[in-house]
Amino acid sequence: MPNPGELLGGLVSFIGQQVSASSLRLGPVPAAAIFLIMLVLLSLVARPSARWTLRDVGRLGAVTRAMALAAESGGTAAFSLGTAGLVRGVSAVQRIQTLVALPILAHVARAAARAGVPFRVTTNDPLTAQLAASAVADAHRRTATQEREQRSSVEYLGEGRAVAAASAIVDPAAPAAAFVAGGLSEEALLLLVGTSQGAAWTSFGTAAASQAPAVVMTGDGTMIGPELLQATSDLRPGSERIAVLAANRLLLAAIVVILVGSAVALLAGVDLAVTLAGG
């Protein structure tokens, strides 16, 4: 049995061998830049403390009202997690859209659980179905409504983008509130129109830039491009959300005043650069 000194020596030797057997794939500057970017993201961006836009992205702030209307009309709520999935998505940008849609799903599921609205989630990806089932179960646990969990369902529709689109078109059930969030492709229009049929309240979103027109045409609330990724950070209910929204509106007013004031000053012949910087 080696003594602690030999063990330590062996460990140091192993580390030395690994270091000597390694080389930087991108060179020192790009490698340092990658780690620096990671450090900045970790320290500054991972916990954003303010909203980045003014409007209520995807009308997610009104989900509670939508669920109240659904409950009053005896309707259901439907949520589709797009068609990219996690296992079947071919690119990281598509897969991450599914990942960021899961907190949105959890937000909607909590509202549905509180309102007692039957909630149906559909996806064409098996791993996503498992995660969605966990999110729905967690929503009922957090809202202490486990007795209503039987009325919620998560359905794996089968493989393929066409399957999700066809299911949305032929499904006779018309939900009172319909949501689609996640990666979409050429089937977007079919899926969104099919999902929105008969729905009194819709919120659709995808980061696929080419499918933005389909989202605009079919959704009351829209999350286009980066908005889908940003919406997750904005799911902060309560007074803090209202305060930040009000602060952002004040910022918008300040920007308008500065722009209009600058234009007036320029038209009046005042050189702002000289005025501000001196000289």
Partner 1 sequence: MPRNVPGIIVILVGLLLLVDFVVINPTLVDVSNAVLRLVVLLAAAAGITGASFLVMRHGRAVLDGSPHRLESSVLIVGLVAMLATGLYPGSQGAADPAVRWMVTALLAPLVASLFAMLFVFLLVAVRRGMLLRSRQMRVMLLAAAVVIVLLLPLGGQLGGWLAAVAAWSEAVPIGAVFRGLLIGVGILVAVQATRILLSVNPADD
* Binding stretches for partner 1 (CB under 8 A): 18, 21-26, 31, 34-35, 37-38, 41-42, 45-48, 87, 92-93, 96, 99-100, 103, 106-107, 125-127, 129-130, 155-158, 160, 162, 165-166, 169, 186-187, 189-190, 192-193, 196, 207, 209, 212-214, 216-220, 222, 224-226, 229-230, 232-233, 235-236
The DSSP bridge partners found for residue 121 are 79, 154
Helices 92-115, 126-142: crossing angle, 10 deg rounding: 30
Q: Which is nearer to partner 1, 238 or 278 (CB)?
A: 238
Question: Residue 162 half-sphere exposure, CB side, CA atoms within 13 Å?
Answer: 0
Residue 231, CB half-sphere, CA atoms under 13 Å: how many?
Answer: 34
Q: Which residues contact 248 (CB under 8 A, 6 or more apart)?
A: 50, 51, 53, 54
Q: How many angstroms separate the CA atoms of 204 and 124, rounded?
A: 17
14/72 with CB nearer partner 1 = 14
76 or 196: CB nearest partner 1:
196
Q: Closest distance between partner 1 and the C-beta of residue 110, in Å?
A: 10
Q: How far apart are CA 267 and CA 260, in angstroms?
A: 11
**Closer CB to partner 1, 71 or 124, in the complex:** 124
Shortest Å distance, C-beta 246 to partner 1 = 19
Identify the helix (H) or strand (E) that includes residue 12. helix 4-20
Instruction: Name which of 76 and 232 has its Cβ closer to partner 1.
Output: 232
Based on CB atoms, which residue is closest to partner 1, 71 or 85? 85
To the nearest whole angstrom, how small is the minimum distance from the Cβ of residue 149 to partner 1? 17
Quick one: 71 or 157, whose CB is closer to partner 1?
157
Rg of the chain over all Cα atoms, to the nearest angstrom: 25
Beta bridge partners of 119: 77
Sign of CA dihedral 99, 132, 120, 112: negative
| Nearest alpha-carbon partner for 244 in 47, 51, 46 | 51
**Alpha carbon distance 271, 253 (integer Å):** 23
Least separation, in Å, of the C-beta of 266 and partner 1?
A: 25
CB of 272 to partner 1, least distance (A): 27
Shortest Cβ distance from residue 253 to partner 1 (Å)? Answer: 20
Q: Least separation, in Å, of the C-beta of 113 and partner 1? A: 14
Amino acid code (one letter) for 187: E
